[in-house]
A and B are shown apart, each in its own frame.
Chain A
């Protein structure tokens, strides 16, 4: 039997369509009777969409304009 903890562990695999059939059925049966896990999965889906939209960046102090200039010079030396 799938428990809440199993859902929490397999949630990403389920969302990404990577869960084998047996486990997928186990998870779906658990969802039928557990509103907490239904809500949790919906939260995880919202999180993924939100991250994709926000697209947070790596911390980076690079002056990209200056780097582009250096690379341009380097390319002309070839």
Chain B
């Protein structure tokens, strides 16, 4: 199940007209809709310390460039590319001063024996539909907090691919990573969440 939060083309065109016309509600709408994911991308590329600034600069650039927006990509992708370019420039400028929790660290592999067999049985979850899992407030909090503790690049991959329905190629361009790296990040993020749910179910 992919949840894609994007506006249809016509809706987007009229939204852009409203933005160019300076309608306050249109500004409120785009900022509330896209600021969070722009921040996700900025944090993944440039790190926590510079992300807010990079996103604000990206907004200003985007608003200025809006009359030139041709609709070849969605507004969301266009905005994310602007953030990505700004973040990459910032990385180059700051050079060694940026420290990223890059999400590549190898996790201990303690679930398997030397021959690659599982050490513990994996059972079916009694409730495994999203609706049933999320009906449990405690579990929902656990999932949210696990998500927020993921390294920024893993959060970005998970958000873009599994929540926003952004295509793999587009995501790799925006995050400036290879497809094989993106797949590793995505799998680590999903596994971390699966394990946090499994741990809760096992208690």
Contact = CB atoms under 8 A, between A and B. Distances in A.
Does chain A bind chain B?
yes
Given A13-B187, A44-B190, A46-B125, A69 B27 contact: yes
Interface stretch (B73-81, B82-90, B107-115): B107-115
A46 B133 contact: yes
Interface string A33-64: 00011011011101111111111111110101
B94 interface: no
Name the residue among B20, B36, B111 with the largest chain A CB count within 10 angstroms. B36
Name the residue among B19, B22, B163 with the largest chain A CB count within 10 angstroms. B163
Nearest to B187: A12
Given A60-B35, A62-B35, A5 B116 contact: yes
A8 interface: yes
A76 B190 CA distance: 43
Name the residue among A18, A36, A47, A60 with the largest chain B CB count within 10 angstroms. A47
B63 A71 contact: yes
Given A3-B116, A43-B122, A72-B22, A52 B63 contact: no
A12 B59 CA distance: 34
Contacts of A29: none
B163 A74 contact: no
Contacts of A53: 1, 3, 130-131, 134
Main secondary structure of the interface of A (DSSP, over half): helix
A75 B60 CA distance: 8
B123 A65 contact: no
Nearest to B109: A5
A69 B162 contact: no
B195 to A, nearest CB: 9
B130 A12 contact: no
Interface stretch (B6-14, B96-104, B140-148): B140-148
Contact of A67 (B1, B56, B121): B56
B128 to A, nearest CB: 4
Contacts of A49: 1, 129-130
A56 B147 contact: yes
22 contacts: A3-B117, A4-B112, A5-B109, A8-B112, A11-B191, A13-B187, A43-B122, A46-B128, A50-B133, A52-B3, A53-B1, A53-B131, A58-B39, A58-B155, A58-B159, A60-B36, A62-B39, A64-B35, A68-B27, A69-B24, A75-B19, A78-B64
Given A12-B190, A69-B24, 6 more contacts: A36-B122, A43-B194, A52-B162, A55-B5, A56-B147, A64-B35
